[in-house]
A and B are shown apart, each in its own frame.
Chain A
Amino acid sequence: MKCEEMLAMLNDYVDGTIDPSVCEEFEQHMAGCNPCQVVVDNIRQTITLYKNDQPYELPVRFKEQLHEALRAKWQEKFSTK
């Protein structure tokens, strides 16, 4: 297996959806190819970093506006029931 072919199967490997027979070949290549090993590590770390990132805060003014809108809609919904 060549580095280029590794690249094409990167997603399947990282997501654990790779065919078991191909997986063995993939791991054999990585054991002998440091660049591919590092790229796989980097990709995993990249995904982890985005997953764990703190989300944005709502602007205070918008948070108030949102909850006011929800209360108004709530009144409407439950008063007509």
Chain B
Amino acid sequence: MAPETADDELVVRAKAGELFAFESLANRYEKRVYSLALRMLRHEQDAEDVTQQTFLSALEHLDGFRGEAGFATWLLRIATHAALKVIRKRDGLDTVSLEAATESTESDESIPHPEYIADWSQSPGELVARNETRSLIEEALAQLDEKHRIVFLLRDVEGLSVTETATALGLSEANVKVRLLRARLQLRERLTTTLGDPASRIKQAHHHG
């Protein structure tokens, strides 16, 4: 099967009982699902379990997939919910939403002020090709608090809207926005400390206007 066969067509064939079409879809998206799960959960076995659950659930509910959102979006949504379930279980919060556990402290914290301000010495396109950049960005992501990391992953990496992210996490939209801002600022800080060009660094003292 040509790699450019559209998802929609593969879905139609899979619904008609063609296993090969479904396996093609799995081959196409398993890395993305596994990566999302691993980034959310920071645990290989849990990420594998979530990946397997996601595809088994997709197979089971394929008839119910109407194609409004696109297959990839639908699949990632299943994966997100499966991963969140693991997180809630881990925290012993099966019956409470993430919001109830964490939102109360949110408004007390102030927004972190940028410290290390400098132009990056290379473009993201050049940087992403390098192995040391990849481990740097995964480390920076792993260092975020879970509540910030997950919002960043859903919103900026998977491209969910603020509303969709809020719904998936059981959070208010205002809360999603605050968490996203913190996540972005913290990642910016960590990456710029390493990727920033020291010669272009702007000292913080000049930044209070």
User: Which of A's residues lie within 8 Å of B, judged by CB?
Assistant: 2-4, 7-8, 10-11, 14, 33-35, 38-39, 41-43, 45-59, 62-63, 65-67, 69-71, 73-74, 77-78, 81
A48 touching B60, Cβ below 8 Å: no
A53 to B136 CA separation, bound complex (whole angstroms): 11
**Nearest B-chain residue to A7, judged by Cβ:** B111
Kindly identify which residue among B36, B55, B184, B202 contacts A70, using a CB–CB cutoff of 8 Å.
B55
**Nearest A-chain residue to B112, judged by Cβ:** A7
Min CB gap B52→A, angstroms:
5
Q: Pick from B67-75, B85-93, B100-108, B118-126 the stretch touching chain A.
A: B118-126
**At the interface, is chain A mostly helix, strand, loop or mixed?**
helix
A46 touching B134, Cβ below 8 Å: no
Return chain A residues, CB-CB under 8 Å to B35: 55-56
Min CB gap A26→B, angstroms:
14
Return chain A residues, CB-CB under 8 Å to B12: none
A73 touching B60, Cβ below 8 Å: yes
Return chain B residues, CB-CB under 8 Å to A47: 156, 184
A11 to B183 CA separation, bound complex (whole angstroms): 11
Q: Give the total of B residues in contact with A, Cβ under 8 Å.
A: 56
Q: Does B31 contact A (CB under 8 A)?
A: yes
Given contacts A55-B31, A69-B52, A73-B56, contact A8 B111 (CB under 8 A): yes
Return chain A residues, CB-CB under 8 Å to B120: 41-42, 45
Kindly identify which residue among A35, A53, A62, A74 contacts B207, using a CB–CB cutoff of 8 Å.
A35
For B127-161 the 0/1 string (1 means CB < 8 A from A) is 11000011001100100000000001000110000
A62 to B124 CA separation, bound complex (whole angstroms): 31
User: Which of B's residues lie within 8 Å of A, judged by CB?
Assistant: 17, 19, 22-23, 26, 30-32, 34-36, 38, 44, 48, 51-52, 55-56, 59-60, 111, 113-114, 117-120, 123-125, 127-128, 133-134, 137-138, 141, 152, 156-157, 177, 180-181, 184-185, 187-188, 191-192, 196, 200, 202, 206-209
A31 to B179 CA separation, bound complex (whole angstroms): 27
Kindly identify which residue among B26, B48, B138, B200 contacts A67, using a CB–CB cutoff of 8 Å.
B26
**Nearest A-chain residue to B192, judged by Cβ:** A42
Min CB gap A39→B, angstroms:
5
A3 to B119 CA separation, bound complex (whole angstroms): 18
A67 to B60 CA separation, bound complex (whole angstroms): 15
Min CB gap B158→A, angstroms:
9
Min CB gap B40→A, angstroms:
12
